[in-house]
Amino acid sequence: MAILNLFVPKDRKFFPLFEASTLNLVEISNVFYEMLKCNDVQKRKEMTRTIEDLEHVGDKLSHSIFNELNLSFITPFDREDIHALTSAIDNVVDNIHGAAKRIDIYKVEEIDESMVKLGELIRMGSEELHKAVTLLKNNKKTAEISACCVKINTIENHADDVFDMTIGRLFEVEKDAIKLIKIKEILSTMETATDMCEDAANVIQSIIIKHA
Amino acid sequence: MAILNLFVPKDRKFFPLFEASTLNLVEISNVFYEMLKCNDVQKRKEMTRTIEDLEHVGDKLSHSIFNELNLSFITPFDREDIHALTSAIDNVVDNIHGAAKRIDIYKVEEIDESMVKLGELIRMGSEELHKAVTLLKNNKKTAEISACCVKINTIENHADDVFDMTIGRLFEVEKDAIKLIKIKEILSTMETATDMCEDAANVIQSIIIKHA
Amino acid sequence: MAILNLFVPKDRKFFPLFEASTLNLVEISNVFYEMLKCNDVQKRKEMTRTIEDLEHVGDKLSHSIFNELNLSFITPFDREDIHALTSAIDNVVDNIHGAAKRIDIYKVEEIDESMVKLGELIRMGSEELHKAVTLLKNNKKTAEISACCVKINTIENHADDVFDMTIGRLFEVEKDAIKLIKIKEILSTMETATDMCEDAANVIQSIIIKHA
């Protein structure tokens, strides 16, 4: 019982921080998706600033998790998994922010249909990640968590296909090299966001295996 | 003796998986090298698909190693080294696949001589890596394993020189920015493949030092 | 007392190696900053070679730390922190070297004012990092070490702003795509150097927290 008491308080610390992190990610991915569907350059600029603010919130949450990790003797799962999951969530956020910032800095006027598609996939992946993290505190939900991870893998594969096809087409039709550089880099940053989401899912799957 | 018995079964799990991984890498690097020497665009497309299939095989092997790692209490060497070695091998494969895919998607018609040279270096590095991994299960072969790692380092330095020289020349002669972007990115992905090979060699050397 | 004796000799090994690493980094960042302020292409070439030599010195120091780590049972702080700090210092050096090499290979004639600014920030960050590492062996200096880390964070934010502004302007004024690719890549490598400096600072802060 004493051991259980030592364990439980940690759960009360880590799980809410993880859930807050992925909830923040869901919010960022929603703002980003709205931004991609918006034609008003000025409004897009404002949404980029919102994403920036939310990124700072995410940084603080990651910082809290790392502090907690350094101060805790007992953790709900392996220290390196907590570290890897936090970093992966952080990387998804960073790449969404990076894509939004580039759209702003590069003064992109028309958002390509493929970007909206990738934005939707990032949003879907973020939601599955939040769902998986929320279920993680209940160690009876292994099958449901696994299903989320499988979905994230499918989403990443889909994003890969959209990216490859779009890049192939871009090199065929876009003769303005500078415009090509801009679009290619934004698409690539978005595709990396889905990769990082898959990284997070892989950490979650390894946590599940260890606790099975 | 009982401890030895606990140890041996693990050897039977990890070493065959590592050997299968690097053997798969050797196969991929061979197909890639043949592809670079092939003038027929259609045949190159087919070889890209073969590389893609072999990459999936590699992914499954990595997945098996990670699963084994999560389920095993005793491992033939440090858990983080198993993880790092698996990831490094995976990264070599990913970068070979990435280079092949770009040649296809970017519709590159003529393969530059420097790409064939880098392809040869990747193939040589992959073979040394496979040799080192195969020797790893015999802890008397330290000198031979070290020799493989030294060779991989030399190969990486050579690839660096080829890359730098080619990029320097490219910026001097290529006036078509879009063509330059394509070639630069393919060369860079190939050079990263040799870096990742060196990363794997570094993990192997640290395993040797710990068990000396 | 016996335990203390076991501990102290390790301190004698790791701390001097860390200090030599960051001192080497400070030297590299100074040569690089001088190089950015130099108008003579030939002299810049020589300085690039000096940076290359110092990078090899850094590689050897990192190698010594990793060897020491593999051979030591007792370390002054967590093994993964020693590994992460060494890698981060190495990454700062690699990115400075990468930027210098590109200036040489791309035959950049005029060094942009923004590059000099970023070079200055890299130099400042390297000095703070060296100061923090030097203080690390004295576990009473927590507040001073923290102050260095905070400064490194501020420097990284400043570098981010310089980079974003410069890239935005570059895409507005530079119509030569090949020239744009060159400058963008050099700036980006420099900005990554400050990111890696921040990574090192984050490792140091987590070491401090654990030993508080």
Chain C hits for B164, Cβ within 8 Å: 101, 105
* Distance from C-alpha of C151 to C-alpha of C131, rounded to nearest angstrom: 11
- Any CB–CB contact under 8 A between A97 and chain C? no
pLDDT for the residue A197:
98
Q: Is-contact B112 B174, C-beta < 8 A?
A: no
pLDDT for the residue C5:
41
A181/B181 touch (CB, cutoff 8 Å), yes or no:
yes
Residue of B nearest to A212 (CA): B71
Which tokens belong to A90? 């952080």
Chain C hits for B172, Cβ within 8 Å: 107
User: Measured between CA atoms, how close is C210 to chain A, in angstroms?
Assistant: 5
First to last CA, chain C: 21
Residue of A nearest to B72 (CA): A210
How far from C199 is each of A130, B18, C192, C205, CA to CA, in Å?
26, 31, 10, 10
Residues 190-209 of B with CB under 8 A from C: 206, 209
C209/A71 touch (CB, cutoff 8 Å), yes or no:
yes
pLDDT for the residue A7:
47
User: Measured between CA atoms, how close is B152 to chain A, in angstroms?
Assistant: 28
* Distance from C-alpha of B7 to C-alpha of B3, rounded to nearest angstrom: 6
**Across the interface, which of B105, B177, B178 has its CB nearest the CB of A164?**
B105
Chain B hits for C71, Cβ within 8 Å: 209-210
Identify how many contiguous H helices and E strands chain A contains and give both numbers: 6, 0
Choose from C68, C83, C105, C109 for mutation: most chain B CBs within 10 A: C105
Closest Cα to residue A114, out of A160, A50, A49, A51? A160
Chain C hits for B168, Cβ within 8 Å: 105-107
B206/C70 touch (CB, cutoff 8 Å), yes or no:
yes
Chains that touch B (3 or more CB pairs under 8 A): A, C
If one compares B69 and A132, the residue with the highest pLDDT of the two is A132
B66/A175 touch (CB, cutoff 8 Å), yes or no:
no
**B11 pLDDT tier (thresholds 50, 70, 90):** low
- Any CB–CB contact under 8 A between B171 and chain C? yes
Which residue type is seen at C169?
R
Chain C hits for B167, Cβ within 8 Å: 105
pLDDT for the residue B139:
72
Residue of C nearest to A98 (CA): C164
A106/C164 touch (CB, cutoff 8 Å), yes or no:
no
E-only strand ranges, C39-98: none
Chain B hits for A171, Cβ within 8 Å: 105-107, 178, 182
pLDDT for the residue C154:
96
Cα C42 to chain centroid, rounded: 25
pLDDT for the residue A74:
85
* pLDDT tens sequence across A151-192: 999 999 999 999 999 999 999 999 999 999 999 999 999 999
Sign of CA dihedral B15, B18, B22, B24: positive
Residues 110-139 of C with CB under 8 A from A: none
Three-state helix/strand/coil letters over B177-208: HHHHHHHHHHHHHHHHHHHHHHHHHHHHHHHH
Q: What is the mean pLDDT of chain B?
A: 92
Which tokens belong to A9? 């308080």
> DSSP assignment, residue A76?
S
Share of chain A above pLDDT 90, in %: 81
Choose from A105, A106, A108, A181 for mutation: most chain C CBs within 10 A: A105
User: Measured between CA atoms, how close is C202 to chain A, in angstroms?
Assistant: 10
Specify the 3-state DSSP secondary structure of A175. Answer: coil
Mean pLDDT, contiguous 10-residue spans, chain C (212 residues):
43 89 98 97 96 96 91 86 94 97 94 97 98 89 93 96 96 96 97 97 90 74
- Any CB–CB contact under 8 A between C2 and chain B? no
| Listed range (A69-83, B45-59, C29-43, C145-159) with the worst mean pLDDT | A69-83
* pLDDT tens sequence across A85-107: 999 999 999 999 999 999 999 99
Q: Is-contact C53 B193, C-beta < 8 A?
A: no
**Across the interface, which of A66, A80, A105 has its CB nearest the CB of C164?**
A105
How many residues does this entry show for chain A?
212
Is the pLDDT at B10 greater than 60? The verdict is no
Q: Which residues have CB under 8 Å from C157's CB, separation 6+? A: none
- Average pLDDT of the residues in B29-34: 98
Is the pLDDT at B4 greater than 80? The verdict is no
